[in-house]
Amino acid sequence: MLPQLDMTQVGAVMYAALNDRREVVLMTKNQLVSKLADESGLSKKQADGVLNTLVTTVIKSVKKGEPLKIPGLGIFRLRKMKARMGRNPQTGEAIKIPARKKVGFTVAKSFKETVLGTARK
């Protein structure tokens, strides 16, 4: 007979099994909201509201072309790429690549150093 496991144990077992196969395991929104609620003392509903507001604010700011810096995390910005000439890799024919917009994110130095350790030389 198998032992009874609660959902956190099941998640931990699934995470360990997936990591053994070298697959990427992402934190879900519900897991993030739960972690925010636990560590901040907010209810899950309040934490979900804060997360939704943060995401909405980032989207609106970047869409308007205003960079948004979150200290300790990084900077979100809209990048405008100029039109340029490129080549079709199959035929070698020159093609025009039109101008476009991209969303850019630059990781904060403190975040990099915390995750990767001190700078390597």
Q: Which residues of 60-85 are buried (b: 16+ CB within 10 A; e: fewer)?
A: ebbeeeeebeeeeebebbeeeeeeee
Q: How do residues 49-81 score in pLDDT, each as one tens digit? A: 999 999 999 999 999 999 999 999 999 999 999
Query: How many Å apart are CA 48 and CA 54, to the nearest integer?
Result: 10
For the stretch 4-27, pLDDT in tens is 444 444 444 445 545 556 677 899
Last residue of a domain, one of 64, 82, 104: 64
Residues 6+ apart with CB under 8 A from 100: 81
Among all chains, which residue has been given the structure tokens 């690549």? 97
Report if pTM > 0.85. Answer: no
- Claim to verify: residue 45 and residue 104 sit in the same structural domain: no
Assess whether 47 and 4 both reside in one domain: yes
Q: In sequence order, which residues have a C-beta less than 8 Å from that of residue 110 and are 6 or more positions away?
A: 72
- Residue range 99-120, pLDDT digits in tens: 999 999 999 999 999 999 875 5
Residue 98, pLDDT above cutoff 70: yes
Nearest to 62 by CA among 47, 89, 80: 80
Domain that holds residue 109: 67-121
Same domain, 117 and 78: yes
Residues 60 and 112 grouped into a single domain: no
The reply to whether 5 and 25 lie within a common domain is yes
Choose the final residue of a domain: 15, 33, 64: 64
pLDDT for the residue 19: 54
| Strand 94-97 to 84-87 pairing | antiparallel
Whole-number Å distance between alpha carbons of 94 and 115: 42
